Amino acid sequence: MDGAKLLKKLADEAGENYRFEYSPESFTGTEPEYALEVCNAVLDVWQPTKDRKAIINIPATVENAMPHVFAQQVEYISKNLKFRGNVVLSLHPHNDRGCGVAASEMGLLAGADRVEGTLFGNGERTGNADIVTVAMNLFSQGVDPELDFSFMPEICEKYREFTQMEISPRQPYAGALVFAAFSGSHQDAIAKGMQWRRDKKCEFWTVPYLPIDPADVGREYQTDVIRINSQSGKGGVGFILQENFGVNLPPKFKEAMGYAAKDVSDKTHKELKPDEVYRVFLERFVENRPLFDVSECHFKQLAGGIEATVTVAEQGKKSVVQAVGNGRLDAVSNAIKKHFGAAYTLTTYEQHSLGEQSTSKALSFVGVEGDGKTGWGAGIDEDIIQSSFEALCAALNNLFVSRGKD
């Protein structure tokens, strides 16, 4: 007790309101009754008050028991400590058994008031309790940890700079991959969950596979959550196109786009960034004209419908074809059928604007079926009618290629 008495004497002489902390070293290897006796003896010397509280810091200097055992020891100390209302009961867990975070949480439930930890568990041997994970676990359960990690990327950057150590890509809440979903089923669930939140204006966070809102730690949905590679599916690709480029694919179109992105990722052996996903969309479904193109369309209103005069460009040659339909798109489609002698059915036609401005371009989607095959195409143009022709042309090129037509 000499040290405790000396500290109090020096503090009283200095006239300062110093705050004292006592930590019973090797607590986990000591009988709890003896540790309590020593802590109470120290408190008898310091005589803590409401305005001058003392800190009793319970360490797991070497973690040698399961978290619930440590919690029972903490509970025993908390219930039997003198001056309890004037004492801050603190924890100092290490991570020798990989349970530093669990021991912290169990200790808090057992009566502790605070936790000492380090950024990302840095420390001697296996490290201290990761204070980031402890705090964010509390946050995820609606408890304010009174620590601000809303700028996590900047914290990670400074950690690397100051310690010259790397952070695991799977480090909870901070790693580069902790919010990333590559699996197609996971991506689809996340995309639907995000859409549900928008539609229902949900107050609380309830998105599948994401324990917290990534934005709460400074992460971005577009680059940190949905990641596209050969494992990805329609949901992830659709989410990327909608969130980043305003392209809202029809459900069946998403499947075709998903396969196209998987094909590129598989052949290039790499993850596709959002811009690369959009480039696949353009090359496979918007700009693709391997067999033919429609260079001109002119229309005449007839009693029985609309007559289209269509110029088809094919292998360096141009042919003019006329056909009648119940609308412009139907008339152009009939002209192409007539030119190629092709049989197919236009099964899908949807459109929306790219953006909310009056000058926004129109985006059309067309699906065609023939001989058990399906072709998809999209068109982007200031004119909605022209965009539908472009989409039809792209869809038919894809259909004819899939059927081996040349």
- Residue 330, classed as helix, strand or coil, is helix
pLDDT of residue 358: 56
**Which among 233, 260, 286 is the end of a domain?**
286
Assign 383 a pLDDT band (cuts: 50, 70, 90): very high
| In a domain? residue 65 | yes
Asked if 366 and 346 count as a contact pair (C-beta separation under 8 A), the reply is: yes
**239 with 273, same domain?**
yes
**306 with 389, same domain?**
yes
| In a domain? residue 199 | yes
**Which among 286, 316, 339 is the end of a domain?**
286
Separation between Cα atoms, residue 173 and residue 214, nearest integer Å: 8
**355 with 265, same domain?**
no
Given a cut of 60, whether residue 8 has pLDDT beyond it is yes
**Which among 269, 286, 303 is the end of a domain?**
286
**270 with 306, same domain?**
no
**274 with 315, same domain?**
no
| In a domain? residue 146 | no
Phi and psi at residue 25, to the nearest 5°: -55, 145
Instruction: Record the pTM.
Output: 0.77
Assign 97 a pLDDT band (cuts: 50, 70, 90): very high
**6 with 111, same domain?**
yes
| In a domain? residue 37 | yes
Given a cut of 70, whether residue 122 has pLDDT beyond it is yes
| In a domain? residue 148 | no
Separation between Cα atoms, residue 215 and residue 195, nearest integer Å: 16
| In a domain? residue 170 | no
Strands 54-60 and 21-22: parallel
State how many domains the chain has: 3
| In a domain? residue 139 | no
- Note the pLDDT tens digit of each residue in 273-303: 999 999 999 999 999 999 999 999 999 999 8
Q: Which residues contact 20 (CB under 8 A, 6 or more apart)?
A: 4, 7, 8, 11, 46, 48, 54, 55
What's the mean per-residue pLDDT of the chain?
92
**96 with 45, same domain?**
yes
Separation between Cα atoms, residue 131 and residue 114, nearest integer Å: 11
Given a cut of 50, whether residue 151 has pLDDT beyond it is yes
Given a cut of 70, whether residue 396 has pLDDT beyond it is yes
Given a cut of 50, whether residue 406 has pLDDT beyond it is no
Give me the helices (H) in 15-116, please.
32-46, 67-80, 100-109
Q: Is 140 left (phi over 0), alpha (psi -120 to 50) or beta?
A: alpha
pLDDT of residue 405: 53
**110 with 204, same domain?**
no
Asked if 122 and 163 count as a contact pair (C-beta separation under 8 A), the reply is: yes
Separation between Cα atoms, residue 401 and residue 406, nearest integer Å: 7
**25 with 105, same domain?**
yes
Burial 227-260 (b: 16+ CB within 10 A, else e): bbbbbbbbbbbbbbbbbbbebebbeebbbbbbeb
Assign 210 a pLDDT band (cuts: 50, 70, 90): very high
Separation between Cα atoms, residue 153 and residue 216, nearest integer Å: 11
CATH number, position 14? 3.20.20.70
CA 166 to chain centre: 21
Given a cut of 80, whether residue 188 has pLDDT beyond it is yes
Mean pLDDT of 335-359: 88
Asked if 155 and 149 count as a contact pair (C-beta separation under 8 A), the reply is: yes
For residue 340, what are the domain limits? 293-402
- Note the pLDDT tens digit of each residue in 25-69: 889 889 999 999 999 999 999 999 999 999 999 999 888 889 999
pLDDT of residue 357: 65
Mean pLDDT of 16-25: 88
pLDDT of residue 15: 78
